[in-house]
Amino acid sequence: VDALCIVQDDGDEKHHQISRMDQIYSSAYITLVAAEGECAGSGLSRVSLGSKSEPRTFTADGMTYEIGEYNKDILKRSKWMTRGWTFQELVLSLRSLFFTRTQVFFYC
């Protein structure tokens, strides 16, 4: 977000926008998370076709739902989890779409 949405070459404007990141994340319709990127220029991971997982099925209130499983360990080991500013991204975003090498998953 910061590389694309914050003016990088104006110190005052950059400081102002960074101070508003809580509002930006909490007001966003969805936050896209490049969970396995090594740096800001890494982009979004591509999901390998061979990495399909079987969804879990459950029934509640007469409706049947399928939920795909995601590997929490991928996020725990990711570079994304080592960066301090991503805590705001995780906690304040109402909806997030996580891109990893093995899957894309939605969190809300």
107 has a pLDDT exceeding 90: no
Nearest CA-CA partner of 23 in 93, 108, 90: 93
Look at residue 26 in the predicted model and tell me its pLDDT. 92
| Gyration radius from the chain CA atoms | 16
Higher pLDDT, 6 or 20: 20
CA 21 to chain centre: 15
- Name the 3-class secondary structure at 105: strand
Start-end of H helices in 1-108: 2-5, 11-18, 21-27, 72-77, 86-92
Q: What is the model's pTM?
A: 0.69
Neighbour count for residue 36 (Cβ, 10 Å): 19
Strands 96-99 and 104-107: antiparallel
Residue 1 confidence (pLDDT) above 60: no
In the 8-state DSSP scheme, what is residue 104? E
